């Protein structure tokens, strides 16, 4: 089987391909010029191009489905070389900016949500990805290629500023080595130049791995999927809480190196009549005391067969207003791409069902 060229950092490529300046040229072709074949790489000697073609692939992913949402978000399903599939989502954020003469222009800001594993071992009760079980880790190149394919599909120039969130399928800290490598490959100045402080790793709270990630000093942002403020409820929703309880997560967060101007993001998935009450909001404020935190309230996104329900907008606002009144930054995540079933695992599930019917 051919090796995946995106699996290698520039330094690793320089070790493998001599003379070593070729690595920088190849990075330029792969990540800036979005080459589709090694033959196109005209500043490389012909013999080298042929060798590369023999040994490596530029296409670890095949796009098998794409759904566009009315709000401009696009959801992708990619097939890996072994037939497994993973999702990634391009989220479009419009941001008001001003021309020099003061007139308003709209600037497109992209956030790409990427997967780190096929399936997930953590098994959260509300998550569709968990239902399919765990298949395997993604390699660094399979993570990187998701973003590359989306750039190519949308014609996004390589110098466009995008944000990355590791919030697709899988638990990134359960695949820490490959995720950390992907962070480095994304941020290479000769590659995509996506700085680590524009990359956010979201975790269900593997405390020991949060400590390990912190010690790596990558400079990435951290997001914690908290979802509940007492251990009993959190354990029901997220079985991982038995191994790593809330106190251990808060301890790991306190030790995490946070960029001066940044905060740790706490995601709170709001489920109707489960965790949407003001008591929970009060406990949350206490829990976050002394932490540079920002809370993101997420509407539970229902899918067929789930017992959980989407919360009422009034309850979301009441929860948010309470946090704000106590000085805790809190946003409600817009249900971007709701019409394309944007919660993680949902497009893949639809496709698997379609496959089963055929
Ligand atoms: N495994 C990591 C990252 C992937 S999940 C984690 O759990 O943080 C990304 C986010 O999607 C998590 O916050 C998760 O709780 C949320 N999510 C899972 N199922 C969802 C659903 N049905 N509706 C809305 N958000 C969901
Ligand atoms: Fe895994 Fe995250 Fe889904 Fe939990 S919410 S099962 S950790 S992907």
Ligand 2 probe mutation, 89, 114, 115, 120, most atoms within 8 A of CB? 120
What pLDDT does residue 356 have?
A: 45
pTM of the shown model: 0.93
Token pair belonging to 154: 């949308």
Structure confidence by residue, pLDDT tens digits, 292-314: 999 999 999 888 899 999 999 99
* Nearest alpha carbon to residue 265 among 299, 283, 286, 291: 291
What pLDDT does residue 98 have?
A: 66
DSSP state of 138: P
State how far the Cα of 190 lies from the Cα of 28, in Å rounded to an integer.
6
Residue 340 has pLDDT above 60, yes or no: no
What pLDDT does residue 357 have?
A: 41
**What are the backbone angles phi and psi of residue 309, rounded to the nearest 5°?**
-125, 155
pLDDT > 70 in the chain, percent: 90
Residue 88 CB less than 6 A away from ligand 1 = no
Residue 229 CB less than 6 A away from ligand 1 = no
Task: Report whether 172 contacts 135 (CB < 8 A).
Answer: no
* Nearest alpha carbon to residue 13 among 3, 2, 26: 26
State how far the Cα of 122 lies from the Cα of 144, in Å rounded to an integer.
23
Residue 354 has pLDDT above 80, yes or no: no
Structure confidence by residue, pLDDT tens digits, 88-100: 999 887 666 667 7
Identified catalytic residue from 120, 344, 349, 357: 344
Token pair belonging to 317: 């606002």
Q: What number is the average pLDDT over the span 331-354?
A: 60
What pLDDT does residue 176 have?
A: 98
Q: What does the mean pLDDT of the chain come to? A: 91
State how far the Cα of 114 lies from the Cα of 165, in Å rounded to an integer.
6
Residue 189 has pLDDT above 60, yes or no: yes
Confirm whether 40 is a catalytic residue: no
Q: What angle separates helix 313-325 from helix 278-287, to the nearest 10 degrees?
A: 30
Count of other CB atoms within 10 angstroms of residue 165:
20
Identified catalytic residue from 51, 87, 120, 357: 87
Ligand closest to the CA atom of residue 240: 2
What pLDDT does residue 209 have?
A: 98
Task: Report whether 192 contacts 31 (CB < 8 A).
Answer: yes
Which residue has its alpha carbon closest to ligand 2 atom 4? 124
Query: Exposure of 271 by Cβ count < 10 A (0-12 exposed, 13-18 middle, 19+ buried)?
Result: buried
What pLDDT does residue 100 have?
A: 73
Which residue has its alpha carbon closest to ligand 1 atom 9? 167
Using DSSP bridges, classify how beta strands 293-299 and 264-270 pair: parallel, antiparallel or unpaired: parallel
Ligand closest to the CA atom of residue 134: 2
Confirm whether 344 is a catalytic residue: yes
What pLDDT does residue 109 have?
A: 85
Q: What number is the average pLDDT over the span 241-248?
A: 98
Q: What is the distance in A from the centroid of ligand 2 to the CA of 309?
A: 18
What pLDDT band is residue 71 in, cutting at 50, 70 and 90? confident
């Amino acid at each position: 089987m051919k090796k995946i060229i995106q699996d290698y950092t520039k330094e690793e490529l320089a070790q493998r391909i001599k003379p070593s300046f070729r690595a920088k040229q190849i990075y330029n072709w792969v990540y800036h010029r979005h080459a589709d074949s090694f033959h196109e790489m005209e500043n490389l000697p012909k013999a080298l191009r042929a060798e590369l073609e023999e040994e490596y692939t530029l296409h670890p992913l095949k796009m098998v489905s794409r759904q566009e949402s009315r709000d401009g978000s696009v959801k992708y399903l990619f097939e890996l070389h072994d037939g497994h599939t993973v999702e990634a989502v391009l989220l479009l954020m419009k941001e008001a900016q001003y021309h020099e003469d003061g007139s308003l222009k709209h600037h497109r800001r992209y956030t790409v949500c990427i997967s780190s594993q096929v399936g997930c071992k953590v098994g959260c009760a509300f998550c569709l990805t968990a239902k399919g079980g765990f298949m395997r880790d993604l390699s660094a190149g399979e993570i990187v290629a998701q973003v590359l394919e989306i750039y190519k599909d949308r014609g996004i120039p390589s110098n466009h500023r995008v944000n990355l969130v590791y919030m697709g399928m899988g638990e990134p800290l359960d695949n820490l080595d490959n995720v950390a490598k992907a962070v480095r490959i994304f941020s290479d100045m000769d590659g995509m130049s996506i700085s680590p402080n524009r990359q956010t790793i979201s975790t269900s709270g593997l405390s020991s791995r949060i400590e390990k990630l912190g010690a790596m000093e990558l400079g990435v942002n951290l997001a914690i999927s908290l979802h509940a403020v007492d251990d009993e409820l959190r354990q029901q929703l997220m079985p991982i809480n038995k191994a790593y309880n809330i106190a251990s997560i808060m301890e790991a967060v306190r030790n995490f190196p946070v960029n001066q101007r940044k905060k740790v993001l706490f995601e709170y998935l709001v489920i109707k009549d489960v965790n949407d009450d003001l008591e929970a909001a009060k406990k949350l404020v206490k829990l976050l005391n002394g932490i540079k935190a920002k809370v993101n309230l997420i509407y539970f996104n229902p899918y067929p067969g789930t017992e959980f329900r989407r919360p009422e907008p009034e309850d979301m606002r009441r929860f948010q207003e309470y946090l704000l009144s106590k000085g805790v930054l809190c946003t409600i995540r817009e249900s971007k791409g709701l019409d394309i079933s944007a919660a993680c695992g949902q497009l893949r599930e639809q496709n698997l069902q379609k496959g089963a019917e055929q």
